[in-house]
Amino acid sequence: MYFVTAPFFLRWYYPKITFNKSRKERKIYLTFDDGPIPEVTPCILDTLAEYDIKATFFCVGDNIEKNRSIYERILSEGHQVGNHTYNHLRGWDTDDNIYLDNIAKCQQLTGTPLFRPPYARAKKTQLKALYGRYEVVFWDVLSGDFDEQISPEKCYRNVVRHAKSGSIIVFHDNIKALPRVTYALPKVISYLKRAGYDFGVL
């Protein structure tokens, strides 16, 4: 089970986490988790380039090291990167010291002020150690592209039904998401552009 939009209780439980940006600007923030992955990330980059849009990629350190040229392309094309741990660890299931060391290992590659916990699963003790060193970013619209039980069209509709000014939208550049993200992303961008939105990086 997952929430397409961030519920109130989650915002209440994590008051220092960024769920969205200013609602006063008609701007959307596209984000992509888990890459870089050769089968997916270049397709996403091609789509973003076609529409002249910059986005934020929360990268897994191990994938950066395996796919350096794709990571360099993300940077060279003007996109922002964020830390998504080195091994895509679930914080709830990981000792605090191991988790924080894993983030630090990824940080050596990214040097970014942004961190997003994989699965949105991090203990309060872990987050307390990260606040002040990173802007911890969740989202307010989850596309569901990782969910193999939904259609690409459903993924698209998850986004366009809930996106609004300041929304941080999550897609994934991983293998599981491939059929949904490659279908939904250009349609989402086209729809939101027609609705008068601009796009920004975090």
Fold topology of 8-199: TIM Barrel (3.20.20)
Active site residue 172: yes
Q: Which of 1-10, 20-29, 65-74, 122-131 has the lowest mean pLDDT?
A: 1-10
**Catalytic residue chosen out of the listed positions 33, 140, 145, 173:** 33
Ordered by start, the domain boundaries in the chain are: 8-199
**Catalytic residue chosen out of the listed positions 79, 84, 145, 172:** 172
- Cα of 140 vs its chain's centroid, Å: 11
Above 70 in pLDDT, residue 181?
yes
Can you give the pLDDT at residue 103? 98
What share of the chain has pLDDT > 90, as a percent? 93
Above 70 in pLDDT, residue 1?
no
Whole-prediction pTM: 0.96
pLDDT digit string, tens, across residues 114-171: 999 999 899 999 999 999 999 999 999 999 999 999 999 999 999 999 999 999 999 9
Can you give the pLDDT at residue 8? 84
